[in-house]
Amino acid sequence: MPLLNDPIGDLLTRIRNAQHAGRPYCSAPWSKLKEQLCALLVKEGRIASSEVEGEGKLKEIVVTFIEGAEPLVLKRVSKPGRRVYTSIKDVFPVLRGFGIAILTTSQGLMTDRDARKKKLGGELLCTIS
């Protein structure tokens, strides 16, 4: 397996490519952050489910898409070469509230709505619309 510099970007690209190819699911190498990100997408109703399969180094996360739904528009904001951190006053709604932004905060991964409620800023990982 090749070394990945941006595992979150890789996951988003795999999801984007699988949806545009019309696949019902996709898989990616597992990590805690990816698992939390997919759980957040399931909670927000953007994907149908995410499951972890395998053991040890062969663990994979399998993302199942909602049948008949439009493909997600996934944009990576904070990249390894340019980290983007934001304070609570700079966290604005994505698409006037119809999209979501995902942030890493001191209390874990959360959406922009939850971050505004808890008055927390952090690293802006990606936007989803």
Nearest to 71 by CA among 111, 30, 4, 18: 18
Q: What is the mean pLDDT of residues 69-91?
A: 94
- Identify the pLDDT of residue 47: 97
pTM for the structure as a whole:
0.94
Tokens 């997600």 found at: 72
Domain termination residue (choose one: 64, 82, 100): 64
Query: Could you tell me if residue 19 is inside a domain?
Result: yes
Kindly report, residue by residue over 28-62, the tens digit of the pLDDT: 999 999 999 999 999 999 999 999 999 999 999 99
Residues written for the chain:
129
Name the residue range of residue 11's domain.
Answer: 7-64
Distance CA 97, CA 129 (A): 10
Q: What is the mean pLDDT of residues 118-122?
A: 95
Contact 8, 32 (CB under 8 A): no
